[in-house]
């Protein structure tokens, strides 16, 4: 199901997105807050997991394209985790934007639409976001979305505890807080 914002088109991944998505996941700048860059085969595996999540939960990650040029610039979405985050399975919002399109407000713009869908169309009660402790740009996006820093830190369950990317901070936004914010803006 395609979605639009003022400047962006969000749509399920297609074969056309496969190569630019692999390039995004292989970019050291994009992946500096992740354990490693991804090979083409690993990136293809991510696309398969995204497709399964769409089928299972009715929501996952979209490809982001600029409306003005149809250029692929990244991904945004809501993922239902298949691992525990501080003792619970959660809906998590995440994004990756190509370096040449960062710092233009695209992550926030796309994430706002993803949150709108989660809270207003899917009736999800809470969405979280988490990142490594030194990923200040993503934390800035989380804050600009109205997400609250819970103050909780945790070792990501899919990353070795000794890895530099193990420790994460957690942000949270409830459906009630989202709806209240929308009604006052």
Domain boundaries, the chain: 3-183
User: Burial level of 122, CB count in 10 A (0-12/13-18/19+)?
Assistant: middle
Dump the DSSP string for 52-117.
HHHHHHS--EEEEEETTT--EEEEEEEEE-SS-BTTB--EEEEEEE-GGGTTSSHHHHHHHHHHHI
Q: How confident is the model at residue 162 (pLDDT cuts 50, 70, 90)?
A: very high
- pLDDT single digits (tens) 72-97: 999 999 999 999 999 999 999 999 99
What does pTM read for this prediction? 0.95
Residue 39: the pLDDT is 98
Residue 1: the pLDDT is 78
Work out the average pLDDT over 91-115. 97
Structure tokens at 168: 């994460």
Residue range 3-183, CATH number: 3.40.630.30
- Whether the CB-CB separation of 168 and 154 falls below 8 Å is answered with yes
Residue 184: the pLDDT is 84
pLDDT of 48 > 90? The answer is: yes
pLDDT of 35 > 90? The answer is: yes
Structure tokens at 79: 């993922």
Work out the average pLDDT over 98-126. 96
Neighbour tally for 173: CB within 10 Å: 21
Residue 44: the pLDDT is 98
pLDDT of 18 > 80? The answer is: yes
Neighbour tally for 181: CB within 10 Å: 12
Neighbour tally for 134: CB within 10 Å: 12
Residue 182: the pLDDT is 87
CA 80 – CA 7 distance, rounded (Å) = 27
């Amino acid at each position: 199901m395609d979605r639009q914002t003022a400047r962006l088109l969000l749509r399920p991944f297609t074969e056309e997105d496969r190569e630019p998505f692999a390039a995004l996941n292989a970019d050291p700048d994009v992946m500096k807050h992740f354990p490693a860059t991804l090979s083409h085969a690993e990136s293809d595996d991510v696309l398969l997991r995204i497709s399964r999540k769409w089928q299972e939960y009715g929501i996952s990650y979209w490809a982001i394209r600029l409306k003005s040029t149809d250029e692929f610039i990244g991904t945004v979405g809501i993922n239902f985790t298949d691992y525990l985050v501080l003792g619970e399975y959660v809906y998590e919002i995440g994004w990756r934007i190509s370096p040449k399109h960062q710092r233009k407000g695209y992550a926030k713009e796309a994430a706002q639409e993803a949150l709108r869908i989660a809270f207003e169309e899917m009736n999800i009660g809470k969405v979280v976001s988490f990142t490594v402790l030194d990923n200040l740009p993503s934390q800035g996006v989380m804050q600009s979305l109205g997400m609250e820093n819970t103050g909780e830190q945790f070792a990501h369950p899919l990353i070795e505890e000794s890895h530099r990317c193990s420790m994460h901070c957690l942000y949270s936004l409830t459906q009630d807080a989202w709806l209240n914010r929308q009604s006052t803006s």
